[in-house]
């Protein structure tokens, strides 16, 4: 199961995140999302746990629990297509040209 972890303190490392979830079972991966230009944490991550029962236990126990002073927001990650929003290119028109 893919798990979304939000409201992370900016000092939390991937290893610390993995360790917190490993208390509930096998952690396949822990990916801290970082800014591509600065490399700094964006304050959220995704944790993959192959066993759904272990993942459910981790979600239940870690949601609202503090990690480095901030209460975590933990829930099952939604597939990209279900997140809503949507992109959309540019609005408006070109123009340009001469008069």
What is the tens place of the pLDDT at every residue in 35-55? 999 999 999 999 999 999 999
Residue 33: pLDDT over 90: yes
Nearest alpha-carbon partner for 17 in 56, 83, 53, 65: 65
Q: What is the DSSP letter of 98?
A: -
Per-residue exposure over 23-53, b if at least 16 CB sit within 10 Å of its own CB, e if not = ebbebeebebeeeeeeeebebebebbbeeee
As a CATH number, domain 2-78 is 3.30.70.330
Give 86's pLDDT tier (boundaries 50, 70, 90).
low
pTM for this entry: 0.79
């Amino acid at each position: 199961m893919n798990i979304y972890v939000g409201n992370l303190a900016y000092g939390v490392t991937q290893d610390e995140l993995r360790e917190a979830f490993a208390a509930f079972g096998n952690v396949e991966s822990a990916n801290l999302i970082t800014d591509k230009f600065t490399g700094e944490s964006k304050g959220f991550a995704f944790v993959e746990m192959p066993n759904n029962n272990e993942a459910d236990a981790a979600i239940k126990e870690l949601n609202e629990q503090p990690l480095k002073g901030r209460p975590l927001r933990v829930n099952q990650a939604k597939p990209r297509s279900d997140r809503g929003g949507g992109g959309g290119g540019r609005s408006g028109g070109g123009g340009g040209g001469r008069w």
